[in-house]
């Protein structure tokens, strides 16, 4: 793997469950843009030709909450930058940044990603 991402590649993010309302969920049950705010870079798991079921199963062993997905294209649509940043424990770890120079996603970027993630909600 390298820092090359296809527009169709899926990115997966663990979000605390709706049982924690006010944190990352709106009252209507939809994901809040705040679920995509991280000053250290939005941590995601890249799909890289794996099946969604396999990825969700792996993530559920590590994270609590819901797994949501979006595509690299969704990020590029708002000029967010996807970076491949494997960790010691996860060769699929990547991060989404607001731009090449700014880590935190802007409010409008977070709003857009929340909207598409609501469509790509995977599992509680």
**Nearest one of 65, 59, 62 to 11, comparing CA atoms:** 59
CA 67 to chain centre: 9
Give the Å distances, CA to CA, from 21 to 24, 45, 59, 84, 124: 7, 24, 21, 31, 14
Query: Mind listing the pLDDT tens digit for each residue in 45-59?
Result: 999 999 999 999 999
Query: Mind listing the pLDDT tens digit for each residue in 9-43?
Result: 999 999 877 666 667 888 888 899 999 999 999 99
Give the Å distances, CA to CA, from 2 to 85, 93, 123: 9, 11, 28
């Amino acid at each position: 793997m390298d820092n090359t991402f296809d527009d169709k590649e899926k990115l997966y993010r663990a979000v605390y469950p709706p049982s924690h309302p006010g944190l990352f969920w709106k009252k209507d049950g939809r994901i809040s843009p705040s679920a995509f705010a991280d000053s250290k870079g939005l941590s995601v798991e890249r799909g890289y030709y794996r099946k969604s079921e396999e990825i969700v199963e792996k993530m559920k062993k590590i994270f609590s909450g819901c797994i949501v997905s979006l595509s690299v294209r969704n990020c590029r649509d708002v000029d967010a930058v996807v970076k491949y940043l494997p960790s010691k424990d996860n060769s699929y770890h990547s991060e989404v940044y607001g731009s090449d120079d700014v880590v935190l996603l802007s409010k409008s970027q977070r709003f857009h990603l929340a909207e598409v993630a609501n469509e790509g909600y995977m599992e509680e």
